[in-house]
Amino acid sequence: MTSAVHREAPIHAYYGALVGEFMTDAPERVVGTLTTRAFLEFRGNEPEQARAWLEQVVILQNAFRQLPEAHTWGVLIEYPLRRLGRRPDVVILTPGVIIVLEFKIGAHDHRPHYAQQVEDYALCIRDFHGASREHPIVPIVCAEHAASRAATPVTLTDGVAEVILTNGHDLALALRVGASTASAAAAMSWQEFDTGGYNPTPTIVDAARAVYAGHSVAEIGRTDAEGIALQHTAGRLRHWVLEARERNQHIVCLVSGTPGAGKSLLGLNLVLADGAGRVAGEPAVMLTGNRPLVQVLKGALLADARSRGADASASRSLQGALQTLLGYLKEHAAEDAAPPPERVVVFDEAQRAWDEETGQKLLQRRRSEPELFLEILSRLPWACLVCLVGPGQEINRGEGGMALWGSALNKESDAGRPWRVVAHSSMVVGGSHPVEVDPTLHLASGVRAYRNVRFGEWVDALLAAQLNRAAALAAAMLNPPAHITRDLDLLKDWLRLRRRGGRRPGLLVSSSSVRLLADGLPPAPMSNELRDIENWFLKSWPDFRGSDALETPLSEFGCQGLELDYVGLCWGGDLIWSSALSAWLPRRMSAPTWQTIRRPEKAQHRLNAYRVLLTRAREGTCIFVPRGAPGDPSRRPAEFDQIAGALIASGCVELSG
């Protein structure tokens, strides 16, 4: 009697083996392995799932019998993708090519959402699976009883093929076509894929949904260095909240970081996640002056809550947890107002706080926004104010920067109401107020542009007119920082090709680029047209209101704090390049001509508007620079040629037709 052969078990997938080994396993044995791994995760559908697995295994083994070259391939069944909360049915590792296979057992046709599902799997593996970089990925849907379709050679877009549609009878042919995709990538074993490191980066909307559903930063974020840094910062924020409560103190925590580093995720975690900032079940609130951000997040969370059967209390809870700064101040800023109910307050984009003149205009109190906030929270026996601080985001007049916070803290101390201030560096706060240093309160790496981790540095160099430095940064990147085109239709075609697998493209414009109308771009919705902006971010094609319809652009005022997967940035005449000065020239329209902006503060706001627009993309940016029109002084071709030249000199790559 011979003993059973014991093979290495996968760590993450439910089953892993060489195809040759998989073929020697009885289907029932494979299903037994899958069922054992999945036992704790299923809720009452184990028999149905086991039957589906059995049919999948039989179909897959029959296909492999027709492919003698597949003997040394690797096969993984049920590999978990944490960002999606789901698992591709099968991942097949051929020499240099990754095949992602999704079965639809019993299906008699190919439905559109089948292809979108497997596309999403393939794109997530490309973007977030460390070992899969540089490997072409081929998604396949096998609808068991669908009509036969010819499997044509695949076309790759950004490393991911168009979906191959097949059925149970023709699966072998589809696998052979997928495996024949041209590739210079090295072969990867199933063990290397299984342990290759999957680090998803959710959008701010997806992250908010996950936190609201009860998941922690650790559960929804990355497991690499950037993700660990986020988890450490989340833990330290909880520490400072508890410190404020236990010592009956007032503490300000300044959390700084580059655009897209995860600051908003930390704020949402503190406010929405049970056991995080909601100490002893007390209410917490995230405040922002960004009304579109509040509208989009509330719309997404309410839709998600309704889909899970939540009642009207979910809406009331969200109304309290996510609020606009001005609405909060109007309720609590009066000198005789009662203390607010929240002792844990997150102030988003705190560096954009407004000055005394704006306070007089908005609230008839000549106090800066930091002064009003510290005064309001000082009425409480204890409070923890978490200020999220990001550089280069000031785009409105009256925004005074961090110096306002230093001044306000000094005034509170002089009035006998001292605040403890915690930050990663004493240089963060203006003025002379003492700072306790906590290095974990700075997020050094952006995680939004996850395919180009140095993209933020490139944007800084570009807008600082350091084109040589920008070009050097671009040369060190795996992907170009951005593409450039002079053809709006070509830009839209580029974006449409990437409108797949749930990915969201969209057009962005500067609010001052008023002459883009002559190139066929309609005006962007105003920042108070909140329902239009909500639909733009949350609806999807074929709903023409969504960003991916590519009909309406959004400005910096509508998109700040939010993000897209792919951005088509339409560059206007409000920021031109001067070759003579080697500098950007911010301008404003004084119809019918442009006027150079002379005041440094307003000039910086124009540069910051483009910083916001350039840092919205998670996966890729393409910049449209118009050609201009001879004889139109508001659209001089030479000015746009100089813009295009500066972008190319900084490392942008021209889009081919």
pLDDT score recorded for residue 50: 87
Q: What are residue 538's phi and psi, to 5 degrees?
A: -110, -25
Q: Are residues 278 and 366 in the same domain?
A: yes
3-state secondary structure 521-563: CCCCCCCCCHHHHHHHHHCCCCCCCCHHHCCCCECHHHHCCCC
Q: What is the mean pLDDT of residues 455-480?
A: 94
Given a cut of 80, whether residue 448 has pLDDT beyond it is: no
Query: With pLDDT > 70 as the criterion, what percentage of the chain qualifies?
Result: 88
The more confidently predicted of residues 201 and 383 is 383
Of 89, 173, 188, 86, which Cα lies nearest the Cα of 136? 188
What pTM was estimated for this model as a whole? 0.84
Most confident of 20-29, 146-155, 345-354: 20-29
- Measured from the Cβ of residue 427, the count of other Cβ atoms closer than 10 Å reads 9
pLDDT score recorded for residue 277: 41
Q: What are residue 417's phi and psi, to 5 degrees?
A: -125, 70
pLDDT score recorded for residue 431: 59
Task: Confirm whether 513 is domain-assigned.
Answer: yes
Query: With pLDDT > 90 as the criterion, what percentage of the chain qualifies?
Result: 55
pLDDT score recorded for residue 84: 46
Last residue of a domain, one of 443, 472, 504: 443
The more confidently predicted of residues 55 and 196 is 55
- What share of residues in the chain are helix, strand, coil (percent, to 5)? 40, 20, 40
Q: Are residues 613 and 486 in the same domain?
A: yes
Of 519, 506, 507, 633, which Cα lies nearest the Cα of 576? 633
Last residue of a domain, one of 134, 166, 194: 194
The number of distinct structural domains making up the chain is 3
pLDDT score recorded for residue 516: 96
3-state secondary structure 103-155: EECCCCCCCHHHHHHHHHHHHHHHHHEHHHCCCCEEEEEEECCCCCCCCCCCC
Cβ proximity of 437 and 424 under 8 Å? yes
pLDDT digits (tens, 9 = 90+) for 321-331: 888 888 899 99
pLDDT score recorded for residue 201: 75
Separation CA 390–CA 394 (nearest Å): 9
Given a cut of 70, whether residue 224 has pLDDT beyond it is: no
Q: What is the mean pLDDT of residues 532-555?
A: 96
Task: Confirm whether 8 is domain-assigned.
Answer: no
Given a cut of 70, whether residue 1 has pLDDT beyond it is: no
Mean pLDDT, the chain, rounded, equals: 87
Cβ proximity of 95 and 83 under 8 Å? no
Place of tokens 């490997």: 135
Given a cut of 50, whether residue 497 has pLDDT beyond it is: yes
CATH of residue 253's domain is 3.40.50
Q: What are residue 595's phi and psi, to 5 degrees?
A: -125, 135
Q: Are residues 431 and 510 in the same domain?
A: no
Separation CA 361–CA 460 (nearest Å): 33
Cβ proximity of 19 and 97 under 8 Å? no
Separation CA 11–CA 192 (nearest Å): 11
Task: Confirm whether 433 is domain-assigned.
Answer: yes
Please state which of the ranges 161-165, 414-418, 621-625 shows the lowest mean pLDDT.
414-418
Helices 204-212 and 263-272 pack at an angle, to 10 degrees, of 20
Task: Confirm whether 512 is domain-assigned.
Answer: yes
Q: Are residues 475 and 591 in the same domain?
A: yes
Q: Are residues 318 and 437 in the same domain?
A: yes
pLDDT score recorded for residue 561: 83
Where in the sequence is the domain holding 219, given as residue range(s)? Answer: 204-443
Question: Could you tell me which residues come within 8 angstroms of residue 591 by beta carbon, excluding any fewer than 6 positions away?
Answer: none
- Measured from the Cβ of residue 598, the count of other Cβ atoms closer than 10 Å reads 8
- Measured from the Cβ of residue 71, the count of other Cβ atoms closer than 10 Å reads 13
The more confidently predicted of residues 195 and 279 is 195
Task: Confirm whether 520 is domain-assigned.
Answer: yes
Task: Confirm whether 7 is domain-assigned.
Answer: no
Q: Are residues 439 and 460 in the same domain?
A: no
Cβ proximity of 596 and 586 under 8 Å? yes
Q: What is the mean pLDDT of residues 639-645?
A: 98
SS3 611: helix
- How many CA atoms, within 13 angstroms, populate the side-chain half-sphere of residue 210? 22
Please state which of the ranges 95-109, 418-432, 529-543 shows the lowest mean pLDDT.
418-432
Most confident of 53-62, 130-139, 298-307: 53-62
The more confidently predicted of residues 287 and 310 is 287
pLDDT-derived band of residue 426, with 50, 70 and 90 as boundaries? low
- How many CA atoms, within 13 angstroms, populate the side-chain half-sphere of residue 643? 24
Work out the burial of residue 147: count CB atoms within 10 Å of its CB; fewer than 13 is exposed, 13-18 middle, 19 or more buried: exposed
| Calculated CA dihedral for residues 439, 442, 445, 447, nearest 10 degrees | 130
